Structure 1
Amino acid sequence: MDFIEVTLKVNADFADILTAELGELGFDAFVETEDGFSAYIEENKYNQQDLEDTLNRYADFVQVEYTVQKIERQNWNEEWERNFEPLFIGGEVSVRASFHEKPSNAKYDIVINPKMSFGTGHHETTTLMIENQLTIDHQGKRVLDMGCGTGILAIMAGELGASEIVAVEIEDWTVENARDNAELNGYGNIDVRLGGAETVTGENPFDIILANINRNVLLEDMPAYKAVLKPEGWLLLSGFYTEDLPMIQQRCEELGLKYESHRVKNNWVSAIFKA
């Protein structure tokens, strides 16, 4: 499967908004650039008219220049190696590619080879989720990572001592990537599944559920999460903006989930709820 790369030159204030908009169109990997970002989508999912319609909605507010090119799947490593810089999150977590040196001051060290999957830690939502994970006791816990992307949050759960981890993704090549990354980090026992919320229906309950997806999916799948969350269990959510938080809170409260706290970075939010 080949991919389409759309590189946008856009003001930083609108980059996150357009990232979210393109996410709704099916783009599921994003790389920041000096003057905007690049977005990637499977070739068979790409629709030029949808892209133009989306960008035209913002024409009165921001000037956007963009280019489109086809990227062969086997060339993806070259793309991300050119752009992927190591990260240090929460003063404890190193996120790096396999060709980066391991930092000596990292309490936790995660190696990620994205291969077109979302979740290298560079996006605010992934960083926020990891920061929130650091505040939750994972030791010996059963953890579910919905929309796992590269598997970074599931791997973080392993680093924090989770005893059993299930990760779920809707794309087969993303599942493959998450499994590879889990193996690379010594967590080959992570159960990575293809599908959506239906894949955990009737499961034994989880102590912690992680879901970094988007607002609409979270709202739709919340009952499924609640159904497999243990009493006193934790639900960590991200993939939405500050203005969406009241809507997320209301949905959680309707299901008996109590709001605990949230973090914000560049208008993106990660919130913690408790059963």
Structure 2
Amino acid sequence: MNYIVINVECNEELAEVLQAVLGNVGFDAFLENDNGFEASIEKALYNEDEVKEALAFFEEGVTYSVEEQEKQNWNKLWESHYDPVEISEELQIRASFHPADPKYKYEIVITPKMSFGTGHHATTTLMLRNQLTIDHKGKNVADLGCGTGILAVMSKLLGAEQVDACDIEDWSCENALENAALNNVDLRVTVGTVHEMEKLDEYEIVLANINRNVLLEEMPTYQKLITKGGKLLLSGFYTEDLPIITEKANSVGLTYLSHLEKDNWVSAVFEN
């Protein structure tokens, strides 16, 4: 499988904004460098017109080039650029080649390969911060679009009983299971969407860090998975999208509780 890689040259401040912009048109892996960053997307999902339109506003001070590449060993690239990520005073995300830091109550060890979810992106950070505020002990949790499995692993570390996860990419599911083993937790992972996943009848907590359009389309399904009083944690959308996400959630019987923001990204919590 080949990928389209955009090499963006820009200043550090603008890099965060541009990564968010490209994330909104399907790019799901970002690698920072001294001149800016690289963003990659599966060739089949790449839309040149969408990218041009998304970046048109940022013509001044930004240059970029586009190339096609074969699937890379994302882990080797990541190792050469990755630093541990502090999510909060309680939680750090690190690689296996970093030493553990005893000052954190929780740590997650991640080897991402080609999967999304290392803690560097704002949406992952926000989801993890929201998870830290919610009681997971003895709960059943569903992680939809699990990527590296980082949110599913967090659920287990917080005391969840059963965690079911799914992703449409088979290598993401394999990566999630590898990361679960690194953190000494058990997950049940299915290749596919929420509709194909092996799942329990109901969950006290459902996690979905995907994108606005998928969240809107699948909201009725999420509501059906959640027990009365259960929580739905969402991310993958911008601040300006929160009203439409909330409206859709309300329409299927979910109540808005709170949200967090970072770099114009949002993670919101709803209750069934």
* TM-score, normalised relative to structure 2: 0.91
Cα shift readout 1:251-270 (whole Å, capped 9, x = no counterpart): 11111111111111111111
Give the structure 2 partner of residue 259 of structure 1: 256
The one-letter code of the counterpart of 1:262 is H
Give runs of aligned pairs for residues 105-116 of structure 1, distance below 5 A: 105-116=103-114
The one-letter code of the counterpart of 1:129 is M
Equivalent residues of 1:21, 1:54 under 8 A apart: no
For 1:123 and 1:147, the matched residues in 2 are separated by: 15
Equivalent residues of 1:201, 1:224 under 8 A apart: no
Structure 1: runs of 5 or more not aligned: none
For 1:140 and 1:185, the matched residues in 2 are separated by: 18
Q: Secondary structure at the match of 1:198?
A: coil
Of 170, 180, 192 in structure 1, the residue corresponding to residue 168 of structure 2 is 170
For 1:68 and 1:152, the matched residues in 2 are separated by: 30
For 2:198 and 2:72, the matched residues in 1 are separated by: 35
The one-letter code of the counterpart of 1:121 is G
The one-letter code of the counterpart of 2:245 is I
Q: For residue 69 of structure 1, report the CA deviation from its aligned partner.
A: 4.4
The one-letter code of the counterpart of 1:253 is N
Equivalent residues of 2:167, 2:190 under 8 A apart: yes
Give the structure 1 partner of residue 245 of structure 2: 248
Cα shift readout 1:159-210 (whole Å, capped 9, x = no counterpart): 00001001111111111111111111112x2011111121259841000001
Give the structure 2 partner of residue 40 of structure 1: 40
The one-letter code of the counterpart of 1:58 is F
Give the structure 1 partner of residue 120 of structure 2: 122
Q: Secondary structure at the match of 1:54?
A: helix
Equivalent residues of 1:233, 1:274 under 8 A apart: yes
For 2:106 and 2:51, the matched residues in 1 are separated by: 42
For 2:237 and 2:158, the matched residues in 1 are separated by: 25
Equivalent residues of 2:93, 2:108 under 8 A apart: yes
Equivalent residues of 1:25, 1:50 under 8 A apart: no
Give the structure 1 partner of residue 189 of structure 2: 192
Give the structure 1 partner of residue 233 of structure 2: 236
Cα shift readout 1:220-267 (whole Å, capped 9, x = no counterpart): 110010011100000011111111111111111111111111111111
Cα shift readout 1:114-138 (whole Å, capped 9, x = no counterpart): 1011110001111111110000000
Equivalent residues, number: 272
For 1:50 and 1:78, the matched residues in 2 are separated by: 31
For 2:190 and 2:213, the matched residues in 1 are separated by: 21
The one-letter code of the counterpart of 2:9 is K
Give the structure 2 partner of residue 132 of structure 1: 130
Q: Secondary structure at the match of 2:146?
A: coil
Question: Cα distance 1:224–1:171, how it changes in 2: closer, same or farther (>3 A)?
Answer: same
Give the structure 1 partner of residue 202 of structure 2: 205
For 1:213 and 1:56, the matched residues in 2 are separated by: 21
Q: Secondary structure at the match of 1:199?
A: coil
The one-letter code of the counterpart of 2:126 is L
Equivalent residues of 2:117, 2:148 under 8 A apart: yes
Q: Secondary structure at the match of 2:207?
A: strand
Report percent identity of matched pairs: 51
* TM-score, normalised relative to structure 1: 0.90
Cα shift readout 1:18-58 (whole Å, capped 9, x = no counterpart): 434433544221233445322122345445x3465335532
Question: Cα distance 1:37–1:263, how it changes in 2: closer, same or farther (>3 A)?
Answer: same
Structure 2: runs of 5 or more not aligned: none
Give the structure 2 partner of residue 30 of structure 1: 30
